[in-house]
């Protein structure tokens, strides 16, 4: 498995809405993620800074990157755009973090 971590933000007044939209996540989005080899996906919120920390494990980078081309992913991005900083294509502004330590 490939471990990935990402840093995003949610608008400060949208913490509750962000949480609500993920609980539960759309079934079709969950199916796409799993079909593309995503496992053990979690997102954590720092309420003071509005930062979101995402952790996930993937089977393959190319399969993971293909998720962005799916209709359900594009719809999800548009759905989330009003509550978090986003790119022109509606994808969330995200920064991949570099792993510096891991222990099993």
For residue 55, give both structure tokens: 């952790």
- pTM score over 0.85: yes
Range of the domain at 29: 2-96
Tell me which of 15, 22, 39, 102 is the catalytic residue. 22
Question: pLDDT > 90: what percent of the chain?
Answer: 99
Residue at 15 is within a domain: yes
Contact in structure between 64 and 41 (CB atoms under 8 Å)? no
Q: How far apart are CA 42 and CA 15, in angstroms?
A: 16
Q: How far apart are CA 78 and CA 76, in angstroms?
A: 5
Q: How many residues does the chain have?
A: 104
pLDDT value at position 3?
Answer: 98
Q: How many domains does the chain have?
A: 1
Residue at 104 is within a domain: no
Annotation marks residue 51 as catalytic? no
């Amino acid at each position: 498995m490939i471990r990935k971590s990402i840093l995003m933000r949610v608008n400060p007044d949208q913490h509750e809405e962000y949480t609500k939209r993920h609980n539960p996540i759309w079934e079709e989005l969950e199916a796409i993620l799993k079909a593309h080899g995503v496992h053990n996906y979690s997102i954590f919120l720092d309420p003071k800074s509005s930062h979101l920390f995402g952790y996930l494990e993937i089977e393959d980078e190319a399969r993971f990157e293909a998720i962005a081309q799916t209709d359900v992913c594009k719809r999800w991005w548009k759905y989330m755009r009003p509550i978090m900083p986003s790119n022109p294509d509606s994808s969330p502004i995200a920064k991949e973090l570099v792993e510096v330590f891991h222990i099993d």
